[in-house]
Amino acid sequence: MGVLQDKIALVTGGSRGIGRSVVLALAEQGCHVAFTYKSASAAADAVVKEVAAKGRKAMAIQSDAKSFQEAAGAVDKVVGEFKRLDVLVNNAGITKDTLLLRMSEQDWDEVIDTNLKSAFNFSKAACKQMMGQREGRIINMSSIAGVIGNAGQTNYAAAKAGMLGMTKTLAKELASRNIQVNAIAPGFVETDMTHKLTDQQKEALMAVVPMKRVAKPEEIASVVVFLASPASSYMTGQVLCVDGGLVM
Ligand code: NAP
């Protein structure tokens, strides 16, 4: 039996990268897992099969995390099928990096809406259900860019810092309802998002990581499991940097 046996989780952006690893790690611990994705249907189908192979139920929902209505619809689908929602992981995210002077209004809006507004959309829909249950966990996937900033990522760092403010505020609003809200701030993780970086950018990044390597998605997923599990029963409003020692 896993530490999350028969709990119901919803992960946004679960088709690839960190989100996929989170879906699989939660299933490994006994969760039935729903996840959203934007367009990678083949990847999403493969994740559903991987969850089923672990003997857990999976539900893939194609839904744009930027849309308030679609987020509410996704949460309704999950609750309609599983009758409750124990864990929400706000993970969906994108980058559109460039220096502020070159950043278009569209790139600002797209990144803020996908990374930050999405967390508002899903948290609002999920916390209604969790308040009724008098139990729940919300885990926000921020970034060290939101903690210390990063040149070329004004939009992304602002969204990720916004998530931290949201985490602490929601933690205060929801603590009395037995809903814990925490955030993870990963450093550099081996996914499609970081494959875009040039070798020169990667070298510069490694120079500032004391552990001198990038993280595997599983090393972020295991911290999500911790924050979803009874092992973190007295934690709320916290930000855990999982970054090989970069921020300390
Ligand atoms: P990734 O490999 O690019 O995967 C992104 C996931 O988000 C995919 O499942 C994608 O769905 C989904 N997604 C993107 N836009 C969406 C939208 N509008 N609606 C619904 N789903 C959407 O990214 P990752 O590296 O795993 O990153 C996951 C999270 O961790 C992000 O929030 C990211 O900011 C954060 N993070 C990553 C790193 C890193 O180094 N990789 C570091 C710190 C924080 P499709 O497959 O359909 O496109």
Cβ-Cβ contacts under 8 Å for 121 (sequence gap 6 or more): 65, 66, 67, 68, 70, 71, 72
Question: CA-CA-CA-CA torsion for 37, 43, 49, 52, nearest 10 degrees?
Answer: -30
- Ligand 1 in contact with 143 (CB < 6 A)? yes
Q: Is the CB of 192 under 6 A from ligand 1?
A: yes
pLDDT value of position 126: 98
For ligand 1, the distance from its centroid to the CA atom of residue 130, given in whole angstroms, is 25
Burial class (CB in 10 A: 0-12, 13-18, 19+), 228: buried
Ligand 1 close to Cβ of residue 65 (< 6 A):
yes
pLDDT at 128: 96
Q: Specify the 3-state DSSP secondary structure of 152.
A: coil
Using the mean position of ligand 1's atoms as its centre, give its distance from the Cα of residue 230 in Å.
27
117 CB within 6 A, ligand 1 = no
> What pLDDT does 198 receive?
85
For ligand 1, mutation pick of 11, 16, 166 (most atoms within 8 Å of CB): 16
User: What pTM did the predictor assign?
Assistant: 0.98
Question: How far is Cα 88 from Cα 8, in angstroms, rounded to an integer?
Answer: 9
Task: Quote the pLDDT of residue 204.
Answer: 85
Look at residue 202 in the predicted model and tell me its pLDDT.
Answer: 85
Query: How close is the Cα of 17 to the center of ligand 1, in Å?
Result: 7
Q: Rounded CA gap, 160 and 144, in Å?
A: 8
CA–CA dist 8, 135 (Å, integer):
12
| Pocket of ligand 1 contains residue 197 by CB under 6 Å | no
pLDDT profile of the chain (248 residues), mean per 10: 96 98 98 98 98 98 98 98 98 97 98 98 98 98 98 97 98 98 98 87 89 97 98 98 97
CA–centroid distance, 14 to ligand 1, in Å, is 8
> Mutation test of ligand 1: which of 156, 189, 190, 218 has the most ligand atoms closer than 8 Å to its C-beta?
189
